[in-house]
């Protein structure tokens, strides 16, 4: 018999599990029916294969068409399969088109009752799929991105060979673009938010950056030829988090600067930390040669600004402070994610 499209939502048993199922049916008989719809197997592919191997006639039951076919198949399988949260999210994204097709079909037959298809638009299908599989809609979106960008990784997640976070990290590295060549100009003011790697610190819980963009090791950062693009008298404003404070100084030295002082960004909200509840980040001020500020105005070293929801986004207030302190000379932002008037940007984003 052919398999219904909905039956393929869930992966088949591996060979060892199928052998165990076959032996169980041989000893105890087929205790659960094989569900069919439109002459195709809707649920029970493994039981069907086991019965064929044993040469016995399977017990079939026809789905009565009540409610959602997808929900019916999911409910049968979730209660007897031991799926990880990553597998649930990956399978959930696969049912999205089926849920949307069901919604369109109901709309076609009930054109005056739009409330029967609330999840057919505006992301509601994702929420419905997540609800069916008892997972988070964000995980379903992540799974969808992996399926579209790296089908081989999606296959591994669905099979339970790797987790969704592992697949995301692998995809991030695959998508890493070669950074463009550093410019040939000379710059007086440098603003940098390096993609620090926490891989060698033992602080794995801090390593959320790698879920969003490829990070760089201390060695990779030190190898950047920043000395060649800065004036003899220049200033560097570099972001760093407390766990990496000590490790950033070799980078500062390799780039040709010396540490002078720092600003503290008080993020107002608290964040996870190993030894305290971290609510700040540091903006280090470093110079090469003589590069004191053009404007003698003294800004408060602590700036209390609530953080945004966008990962690693820094408040524009700090760029404004830099612009006011240094009102002339060429300026460049390294690892930039946005463009700003009066600044050149460099990075692979």
Measured over the CA atoms of residue 212, residue 218, residue 221 and residue 227, the dihedral's sign is: positive
- Residues whose CB falls within 8 Å of the CB of residue 309, separated by 6 or more in sequence, listed in order: none
Q: How many CA atoms lie within 13 A of 264 on its CB side?
A: 10
Please give the pLDDT value at position 160.
87
- Residues whose CB falls within 8 Å of the CB of residue 292, separated by 6 or more in sequence, listed in order: none
Cβ atoms of 131 and 83 closer than 8 Å: no
Q: List Cα–Cα distances, 206 to 202, 203, 243, 272, 313, in angstroms.
A: 9, 6, 9, 8, 16
Q: List Cα–Cα distances, 165 to 16, 78, 103, in angstroms.
A: 27, 22, 31
User: Which residue has 């060549």 as its token pair?
Assistant: 181
> At 241, phi and psi to the nearest 5?
-95, 160
Distance of alpha carbon 308 from its chain centroid, rounded? 18
Q: Domain 187-346 belongs to what architecture?
A: 3-Layer(aba) Sandwich (3.40)
From first to last of its 349 residues, what are the pLDDT tens digits of the chain?
899 988 888 888 889 989 999 999 999 999 999 999 999 999 999 999 999 999 999 999 999 988 888 889 888 887 677 788 899 899 888 888 888 777 777 666 555 544 444 444 445 778 888 888 888 888 898 999 899 989 999 999 988 899 999 998 888 777 665 668 899 999 999 999 998 986 544 444 444 544 445 678 899 899 999 999 999 999 999 999 999 999 999 999 999 999 999 999 999 887 777 788 888 999 999 999 999 999 999 999 999 999 876 655 799 999 999 999 999 999 999 998 888 899 999 986 6
Name beta bridge partners: 114: none
Q: List Cα–Cα distances, 189 to 163, 236, 238, 241, in angstroms.
A: 43, 6, 11, 21
Angstrom distance (rounded) from CA 260 to CA 235? 10
Cβ atoms of 296 and 327 closer than 8 Å: no
> At 104, phi and psi to the nearest 5?
-65, -40
Angstrom distance (rounded) from CA 189 to CA 319? 11
- Which tokens is 341 given? 């008037």
Name beta bridge partners: 236: 190, 286
pTM: 0.55
Cβ atoms of 54 and 22 closer than 8 Å: yes
Cβ atoms of 210 and 231 closer than 8 Å: no
Alpha helices by DSSP H, listed for 160-296, are 164-174, 218-222, 249-254
Name beta bridge partners: 258: 287
Cβ atoms of 61 and 33 closer than 8 Å: yes
Q: Where are the domains of the chain?
A: 5-174, 187-346
Q: What is the largest CA-CA distance in the chain?
A: 91
45 SS3 class? helix
């Amino acid at each position: 018999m052919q398999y219904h499209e909905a039956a393929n939502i869930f992966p088949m048993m591996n060979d060892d599990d199928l052998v165990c199922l076959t032996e169980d049916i041989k000893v105890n008989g087929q205790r659960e029916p094989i569900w069919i719809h439109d002459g195709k197997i809707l649920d029970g592919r493994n039981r069907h294969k086991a019965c064929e191997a044993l040469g016995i006639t399977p017990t079939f039951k026809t789905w009565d068409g009540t409610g959602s076919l997808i929900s019916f198949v999911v409910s049968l399988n979730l209660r007897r399969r031991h799926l990880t949260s990553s597998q649930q999210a990956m399978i959930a994204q696969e049912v999205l088109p089926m849920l949307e097709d069901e919604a369109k079909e109901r709309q076609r037959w009930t054109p005056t009752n739009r409330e029967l298809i609330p999840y057919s638009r505006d992301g509601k299908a994702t929420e419905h799929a997540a609800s069916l599989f008892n997972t988070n809609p964000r995980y379903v979106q992540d799974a969808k991105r992996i399926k579209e960008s790296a089908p081989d990784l999606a296959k591994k997640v669905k099979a339970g060979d790797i987790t969704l976070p592992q697949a995301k990290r692998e995809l991030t590295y695959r998508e890493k673009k070669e950074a463009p060549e550093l410019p040939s100009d000379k710059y007086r003011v440098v603003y940098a938010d390096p993609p620090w790697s926490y891989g060698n610190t033992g602080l794995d819980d801090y390593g959320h950056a790698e879920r969003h963009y490829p990070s760089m090791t201390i060695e990779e950062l030190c190898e950047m030829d920043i000395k060649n693009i800065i004036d003899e008298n220049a200033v560097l404003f570099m972001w760093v988090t407390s766990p990496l404070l000590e490790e950033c100084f070799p980078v500062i030295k390799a780039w040709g600067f010396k540490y002078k002082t720092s600003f503290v960004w008080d993020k107002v909200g608290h964040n996870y930390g190993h030894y305290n509840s971290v609510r700040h980040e540091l903006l280090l001020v470093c110079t090469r040669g003589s590069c004191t500020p053009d404007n003698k105005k003294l800004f408060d070293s602590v700036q209390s600004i609530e953080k945004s929801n966008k990962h690693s986004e820094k408040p524009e207030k700090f760029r404004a402070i830099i612009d006011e302190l240094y009102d002339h000379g060429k300026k460049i932002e390294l690892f930039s994610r946005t463009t700003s008037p009066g600044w050149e940007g460099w990075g692979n984003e």
